A and B are shown apart, each in its own frame.
Chain A
Amino acid sequence: MLTALHIAIVAPFIAAVFVPFLYKKLPKIHTGWFVLTIPAILFVYFLQYLPVTSSKQTVTAVWDWIPSLGIHFTAHVDGLGLLFALLITGIGMLVVLYSIYYLSKEREALNNFYTFLLMFMGAMLGVVLSDNLIVLYTFWEITSLSSFLLISYWYEREKSRYGALKSMLITVMGGFSMLVGFVMLYAMTGTFSIQEIIASAGDITSHDLFIPAMLTILLGAFTKSAQFPFHIWLPDAMEAPTPVSAYLHSATMVKAGIYLVARLSPVFAFSGEWMWIVAGFGIVTLFWGSFSAVQQTDLKGILAFSTVSQLGMILSMLGVGAAAIHFDSMDDNLYIGATTAAIFHLINHATFKGSLFMMAGIVDHETGTRDIRRLGGLMTVMPITFTIAVIGSFSMAGLPPFNGFLSKEMFFTAMVDITSFQAFNMDSFGVLFPVVAWVASIFTFIYSMMLVFKTFTGKMQPEKLDVKPHEAPFGMLLSPIILVSLVIVFGFFPNILAYTVIEPAMASILPSLLGEGEQFYVDIYFWHGWTIELYMTMGVIGIGTLLYLSLRKWVAVYDVFPSSLTLNHIYDQTVAGVEKVSSQLTGAYMTSSIRHYLLYIFSFFVVALVFVLFNKDAFSVDGATAPISVYEGVLAAVLVTTALVVMFTRSRLKAIIGLGVLGYTIALFFVIFRAPDLALTQLIIETVSVALFLLCFYHLPQISRKLENMRFRAGNFIVSLAVGLTVTLIGISANSSRLFESIAGFFPEASYDEAGGKNMVNVILVDFRGFDTLLEILVLAIAAAGIFTMIKLRLAGRNDL
């Protein structure tokens, strides 16, 4: 049944249809103002579900799509889905507001922009609120598609197209892999509904498809969420307009993979493979992203790698949080905290990363560049932007009193706790997690400081800037101000999120731990006491400050890696290599010579048939055969001789006459084998054919007197010999194994009694099987018409057509 919830999910799609009309009909008003209403209404609409989910209720509404295949558009609202829906609509609202001031209504094609953006918003809502895997996959691919369109928004730029194509190839590859995993889940459980799959999760852990399904689905999640080594598309996606980068590539789309991991945790998380893969890839991505970010000189480049890194951090917490499932209850269950931290950081990241992207966009908009080597000293001219940057960056670096500090502390706690987990080698190798996490946090600190101090402090270099820098208009500042206010609010009062948003989302990720009427204990506070996490943070700040100040001295470290070993280089080489190999392969066999193609066809014919004959052991020469008479022997000798002459003669005339001899010999065979009608037809037709051959070719003066340019070709001869042998074998084999009696007895009885004719062949042709004859006449008619057309209609001046 169609409900308001369904309409809410597809509302952006419906609105997208009207965007071009509004853009054309009301050119005076920035189209963004109309678009702004959609996420605003949806945000308010989704807010009303907060009391529902926080009291552990879920809302499910089914709308049949393809019921016969078990595919329903099932909207399912629970804590996790609602958290994402609020992020999508909330940040969506702020991004649309920001884009109204960012994109000029005179210079940009706003209709395209807002259509794609609304498409994306609807698809994203569909991903997080669908309970059916196929529907989820459908929306998932729409997000890839609309992201592709948005990245290539300035399609006249080479780099935009490159980035769009790259992201498309990588995310769609992951999407397809994920679809395979979904189908495997269906094969194991018999349903596409996520809730039903979770309910039967215990039965499938030992299934053969369990690990393949996990790996294929994780590939989809990792490519979408830009995990190492699939993160390479994200920095190139920064060619998109900045509102798009802020929305898609920091707050929403890249979290679709995280959503999927969280959503399917109840299915897969009991296995050690899941824990190691998710946490391992996450921690590697965290390190690699933060390490690479320091090297960047472009503000959005830094932010892109920083997003990669933070996504890795969230994912590693989700992986570590899987340890909690191995306990029966939540008493003394240390690992629940990791899941809490993952969700909390998910929200925090959306707030500070969104504001930082908008800050970068403002700097770009007001100075004309995003290159930190050309920027500097903007603190006094752009004080509000500077404040935004400070709050966002310090939160990202994990400094108190912002929300990033809280989630970073919780992250360290989770990483330290996991080393004491007594399964899957976590207690021995698990020690790597806190160490890598700590080193990565140092790099996070360094690039966060770069973001602020390289842009806003130091000496201003007005000669390097295209425009004179000044503070942005208030409308453009409004969205980032709201986001950084949230950074501070969530920093000081994290518990306003605790039981409204975080706890219901945890209940979706770890449903097996909750008994009837229980809830998770979520309490986030600043002061833990003198714990190891606090010392780790102090270490991060101390060493990070030292390294930042000495950046100039050790930045050469990045040049140690040869450029031929970078992932981008490998990607480029792979794409170019695949193109090259496939075109070489095609060029090697598609020679455009008809002789080669015929050779392939004949060879395949021989190989396939001989293989089947051998395989079925079909060579048996028994069965009754008729005796050979002298006439037949003589005719056979004539036929073979003529055939060889035709094959090897160099004269065109001899070949044509040889063909005639063949035809007449076959007519004589028809005589011997008691087929008078055939003999008659064959004689006449062979005569006409030979005459036609002579007409067409012998009387062509230009080529008739020239001898045939041919020589013996051994390859052709071997293939043709093989074809002949195959046909002979089939003939003998078919003759020796008759499966049933023929219907030959029917015609002598029925010809006269039922059709009133004594010539059985003619009766068959016009009476019993008259349709054949009808269509054969049609064939002749078409051939005649075709010949007439070819002769008469000469489009000599076809260049004029």
Chain B
Amino acid sequence: MEILMSILAGVLFMAGTYMVLSRSFIRIIIGTSIISHGAHVLLLTMAGLKTGAPPLLGLEAGTYSDPLPQALILTAIVISFGVTSFFMVLGYRAYKETGTDDTDRLRGTDSYD
């Protein structure tokens, strides 16, 4: 299971990287979202996927799944959401200002020459 999940994380990273390397804003932002997904999957996997009860004491089970990585992922999900939404609006505004969403057309100029 862990090996399969590692492969899945790898696939997500691959897809995310490929998207990030493209030229348009939206694909780059989608790429960063996919990479976040990959990272979350990897976090969960590396903590061990041994099945136990959900981490709720009320269930009174013998073993629970590890709550700490879940807490970490929860934090990470929220932060990546904040960053992604900021990026989205930033990309939107950049498009409005510059009239393009192509990063190759948004190169800086050597104004310090």
Contact = CB atoms under 8 A, between A and B. Distances in A.
Q: Do A and B come from one complex?
A: yes
Q: Is the interface of A mostly helix, strand, loop or mixed?
A: helix
Contact of B71 (A627, A652, A697, A769): A769
A731 B89 contact: no
Interface in A760-801: 760-761, 763-765, 769, 772-773, 776, 779-780, 782-784, 786-787, 790-791
Contacts of B7: 728
Interface in A643-694: 643-644, 646-647, 652, 655-656, 659, 662-663, 666, 669-670, 673-678, 681-682, 685, 688-689, 692-693
A632 B103 contact: no
B88 A693 contact: yes
Interface string B46-74: 11111111111110000011111011011
Most B CB atoms within 10 A — which of A662, A727, A735, A748? A727
A269 B51 CA distance: 78
A721 B34 contact: no
Contacts of A720: 13-18, 21
A423 interface: no
A656 B83 CA distance: 17
A744 interface: yes
Most B CB atoms within 10 A — which of A652, A700, A723? A723
Interface in B1-30: 1-24, 26-27, 29-30
Given A659-B34, A666-B41, A669-B41, A640 B11 contact: yes
Contacts of A674: 51-55, 64-65
Contact of B79 (A652, A678, A724, A776): A776
Interface in A632-647: 632-633, 636, 639-640, 643-644, 646-647
Given A659-B34, A747-B55, A724 B14 contact: yes
Given A689-B85, A692-B88, A761-B55, A681 B12 contact: no
B15 A647 contact: yes
Nearest to B65: A674
Most A CB atoms within 10 A — which of B3, B18, B20, B37? B18
Given A659-B33, A709-B24, A759-B56, A640 B47 contact: no
Most B CB atoms within 10 A — which of A599, A674, A700? A674
Given A639-B12, A656-B30, A696-B89, A735 B2 contact: yes
Given A626-B1, A640-B8, A724-B17, A689 B84 contact: yes
A54 interface: no
Contacts of A721: 14
B89 A625 contact: no
Contacts of A647: 14-15, 18-19
Interface in A591-643: 591-595, 598-599, 602, 621, 624-628, 632-633, 636, 639-640, 643
A420 B16 CA distance: 80
A659 B23 contact: no
B73 to A, nearest CB: 6
Interface string A469-480: 000000000000
Interface in B68-103: 68, 70-71, 73-75, 77-79, 81-86, 88-93, 95, 101-103
Contacts of A732: 2-3, 6
B25 to A, nearest CB: 8
Contacts of B24: 708-710
Task: For the complex of A and B, list the 9 residue pairs with the smallest distance between their C-beta atoms, beginning with the closest.
Answer: A724-B14, A728-B10, A731-B6, A720-B17, A783-B82, A760-B67, A720-B18, A758-B57, A760-B55
6 contacts: A662-B12, A666-B37, A681-B77, A697-B92, A727-B9, A735-B6
B56 to A, nearest CB: 6
Contacts of A676: 54, 56
Contact of B12 (A643, A717, A734): A643
A259 to B, nearest CB: 43
B91 A696 contact: yes
Contacts of B16: 720
A764 B82 contact: no
Given A678-B73, A696-B91, A625 B1 contact: yes
A53 interface: no
A719 interface: yes
Interface of A: 591-595, 598-599, 602, 621, 624-628, 632-633, 636, 639-640, 643-644, 646-647, 652, 655-656, 659, 662-663, 666, 669-670, 673-678, 681-682, 685, 688-689, 692-693, 696-697, 700, 703, 708-710, 713, 716-717, 719-721, 723-728, 731-732, 734-735, 742-744, 747-748, 751-752, 758-761, 763-765, 769, 772-773, 776, 779-780, 782-784, 786-787, 790-791
A727 B13 contact: yes
A626 B51 contact: yes
Given A626-B1, A769-B71, A708 B27 contact: yes
A37 B47 CA distance: 79
Given A720-B21, A744-B68, A688 B81 contact: yes
Contact of B13 (A688, A709, A724): A724
B78 A790 contact: no
B26 A652 contact: yes
B22 A716 contact: yes
B42 A731 contact: yes
A688 B38 CA distance: 19
A643 B57 contact: no
Given A731-B45, A765-B75, 5 more contacts: A696-B92, A697-B26, A731-B42, A761-B67, A779-B83
A735 B10 CA distance: 14
A159 to B, nearest CB: 25
Nearest to B44: A673
Contacts of A765: 71, 74-75
Contacts of B92: 696-697, 700
Contact of A595 (B6, B10, B40, B103): B103
Contact of A742 (B52, B68, B74, B84): B68
A772 B74 CA distance: 11
Contacts of A652: 26
A662 B34 contact: yes
B59 to A, nearest CB: 9
Contacts of A786: 86, 89
A768 to B, nearest CB: 8
A496 B18 CA distance: 86
Nearest to A783: B82
B43 to A, nearest CB: 10
A742 B47 contact: yes
A625 B2 contact: yes
A676 to B, nearest CB: 5
B67 to A, nearest CB: 4
